[in-house]
């Protein structure tokens, strides 16, 4: 909904391109600057931003849109900006038609995301939240899962260990796991929900 940093958008014509392609071009035209900043890793901040010395910003050679020459920016909705209305409408339609609303790795503190949890509840759609820590939607969740690694937890749910010789397998924490075959998004959501419900019933407690 808020976009992703792997894409770049032109502020002129709206063309969407890959961040990785832009990064390569920036390296080519800023070779000397790149060499300088990589030697001072202590300037890299926890959020991955780089604390440039005064005056270094002016020395950066920008890469512009190949189609119109416009400026480029991350293809994300930044704080203070509004999510495009068509995208919001698409999200509401997706929630309206889904079997389970699965919220993973999000605090839901921003209302632009939390509103879909409320919308799901109003429509009688089960809400499952998987996160490391509390979220704004905990009180609305039918099931809340606390886990240190959302990715590993979901991987365990969508994989099974009953066919260790199959090709589509990976090793997870020393356990051979096999990806469930031909599972679409709706089936995946229902599968996760069913497993979580079974776990809760087995242990007679909340997860």
Residue 144: the pLDDT is 86
Given 2, 6, 75, 203, the catalytic residue: 2
Question: What is the mean pLDDT of the segment spanning 106-113?
Answer: 91
Check pLDDT > 50 for residue 164. no
Check pLDDT > 60 for residue 50. yes
Please, are residues 176 and 161 in contact by the beta-carbon 8 Å criterion? Answer: yes
Question: What is the mean pLDDT of the segment spanning 81-104?
Answer: 90
Least confident of 57-66, 100-109, 173-182: 173-182
Check pLDDT > 70 for residue 129. yes
Check pLDDT > 90 for residue 158. no
Residue 167: the pLDDT is 47
Neighbour tally for 129: CB within 10 Å: 25
Give CA separation, 159 vs 142, 163, 188, in Å: 23, 10, 11
Residue 71: the pLDDT is 96
Confidence of residue 165 (pLDDT cuts 50, 70, 90): very low
**What mean pLDDT value characterizes the chain?**
78
Residue 9: the pLDDT is 95
Please, are residues 205 and 116 in contact by the beta-carbon 8 Å criterion? Answer: no
Check pLDDT > 60 for residue 57. yes
Check pLDDT > 70 for residue 24. yes
Confidence of residue 1 (pLDDT cuts 50, 70, 90): confident
Question: What is the mean pLDDT of the segment spanning 28-50?
Answer: 76
Q: Give the torsion sign (CA, 185, 196, 90, 1).
A: negative
Check pLDDT > 50 for residue 93. yes
Residue 182: the pLDDT is 46
Confidence of residue 169 (pLDDT cuts 50, 70, 90): very low
Examine the residue annotation and report whether 6 is marked as an active-site residue of this protein. Answer: no
Please, are residues 27 and 33 in contact by the beta-carbon 8 Å criterion? Answer: no
Confidence of residue 32 (pLDDT cuts 50, 70, 90): confident
d(CA 144, CA 186): 19
């Amino acid at each position: 909904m808020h976009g992703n940093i792997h894409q770049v958008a032109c502020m002129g014509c709206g063309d969407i391109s890959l961040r990785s392609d832009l990064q390569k071009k920036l390296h080519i035209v800023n070779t000397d600057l790149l060499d300088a900043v990589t030697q001072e890793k202590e300037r890299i901040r926890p959020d991955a931003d780089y604390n440039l010395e005064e005056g270094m910003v002016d020395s950066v050679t920008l890469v512009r849109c190949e189609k119109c020459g416009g400026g480029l920016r991350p293809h994300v909705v930044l704080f203070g900006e509004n999510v495009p209305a068509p995208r919001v409408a698409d999200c509401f339609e997706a929630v309206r038609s889904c079997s389970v609303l699965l919220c993973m790795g999000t605090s839901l503190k921003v209302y632009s995301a939390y509103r879909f949890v409320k919308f799901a509840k109003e429509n009688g759609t089960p809400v499952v939240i998987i996160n490391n820590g509390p979220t704004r939607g905990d009180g609305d969740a039918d099931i809340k899962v606390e886990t240190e690694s959302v990715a590993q937890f979901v991987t365990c749910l969508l994989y099974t260990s009953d066919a260790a010789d199959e090709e589509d397998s990976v090793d997870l924490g020393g356990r051979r796991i096999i990806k469930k075959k031909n599972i679409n998004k709706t089936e995946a959501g229902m599968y996760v929900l069913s497993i979580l419900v079974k776990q809760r019933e087995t242990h007679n407690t909340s997860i």
